[in-house]
């Protein structure tokens, strides 16, 4: 396709008096892996939630594959899209949260096939075929009949990734997908994310895992207080950041020492 998959222009979001996003412009190209980092409370989750229309912007526009998200033109004015259309738009964006949010009363496979059957109208056989393929991809084919309570956190998160992929999204959003996991379990999830990136999935990833950012990201975005402070390839951001706030953040929070001499 031509043009960016995601385009954000002048995005602002307030909760009451508090403006959390203060004018974000962003484009994400097909196959691009973008990692978003920044201090706690700077608006990373809110940005991702706006991209999935879990939050609606206070101001600004978001285009998904060239189509306005959550809004449409009517009689020369922009009006909210009907809920069913927003749901259709959402099917193009998979989201993985810090908490895995699996249905506890469904097996791993059951969790994955639920939405493709309900939303996309796949038959059980079709959905199961897709679900088994995805379980294999995340290394959990042998756990297909387990309920979430019998899976480790890392396994639950891998099921959650498979569940998001089952809708065949064009973009995947990861909101601190490994923050609730012990390092060993985080690694198995990061490996799945890395595989996905290598296969060409377009990804926007909020994470504190700087190894992932260095090795997998095409671009790193540093957010601070609701704006994009700085962005660039990891090789530049981690060694020669231009903004003092970026240096301070990398040093203090992430214990990364930018090579200031660079």
Ligand X SMILES: Nc1ncnc2c1ncn2[C@@H]1O[C@H](COP(=O)(O)OP(=O)(O)OP(=O)(O)O)[C@@H](O)[C@H]1O
Under the binding rule (CB under 6 A), the answer on residue 17 touching ligand X is no
Strands 93-96 and 171-175: parallel
Find out whether 255 and 238 touch, Cβ atoms under 8 Å.
no
Stretch that binds ligand X, among 34-42, 101-109, 157-165, 194-202 (CB under 6 A): 34-42
Closer residue to ligand X in complex, CB, 179/194: 179
113: left (phi over 0), alpha (psi -120 to 50) or beta: alpha
CA distances from 52 to 155, 188, 250 (A): 24, 25, 28
Mark 107-146 with x for binding to ligand X (rule: CB under 6 A) and - for no binding.
----------------------------------------
Phi (first) and psi of residue 129, to 5 degrees: -60, -45
Name which of 38 and 258 has its Cβ closer to ligand X: 38
* Residue 127 or 217 having the CB closest to ligand X: 217
CB of 4 to ligand X, least distance (A): 22
Q: What x/- string results for residues 38 through 77 when contact with ligand X is judged by CB under 6 A?
A: x-xxxxxxx-------------------------------
- Least spacing, CB of residue 250 vs ligand X, in Å: 15
Residue 99 or 137 having the CB closest to ligand X:
99
DSSP string, 162-198: HHHHTT--SEEEEESTTTTS-HHHHHHHHHHHHHHHH
Contact 4, 51 (CB under 8 A): no
List of residues contacting ligand X (CB under 6 A): 15, 20, 38, 40-46
């Amino acid at each position: 396709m031509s043009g960016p998959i995601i385009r954000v222009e002048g995005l602002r979001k307030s909760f009451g008096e508090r403006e959390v996003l203060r004018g974000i412009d962003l484009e994400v190209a097909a196959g691009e892996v973008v990692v978003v980092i920044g201090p706690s409370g700077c608006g990373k989750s809110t940005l991702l939630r706006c991209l999935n229309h879990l939050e609606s912007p206070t101001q600004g526009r978001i285009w998904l594959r060239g189509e306005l998200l959550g809004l449409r033109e009517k009689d020369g004015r922009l009006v909210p899209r009907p809920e069913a259309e927003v749901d259709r738009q959402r099917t193009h964006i998979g989201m993985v949260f810090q908490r895995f949010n699996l249905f506890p009363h469904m097996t791993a496979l059951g969790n994955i096939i639920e939405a493709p059957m309900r939303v996309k109208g796949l038959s059980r056989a079709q959905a199961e075929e897709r679900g088994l393929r995805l379980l294999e991809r995340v290394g959990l084919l042998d756990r297909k009949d387990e309920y979430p309570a019998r899976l480790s956190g890392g396994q639950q998160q891998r099921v959650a990734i498979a569940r998001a992929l089952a809708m065949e999204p064009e973009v995947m959003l990861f909101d601190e997908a490994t923050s609730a996991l012990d390092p060993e379990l985080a690694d198995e999830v990061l490996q799945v994310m890395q595989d996905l990136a290598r296969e060409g999935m377009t990804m926007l990833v909020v994470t504190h895992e700087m190894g992932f950012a260095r090795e997998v990201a095409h671009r790193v975005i540093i957010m601070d207080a609701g704006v994009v402070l700085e962005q660039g390839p990891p090789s530049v951001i981690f060694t020669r950041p231009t903004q003092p706030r970026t240096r301070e953040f990398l040093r203090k929070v992430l214990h990364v020492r930018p090579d200031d001499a660079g």
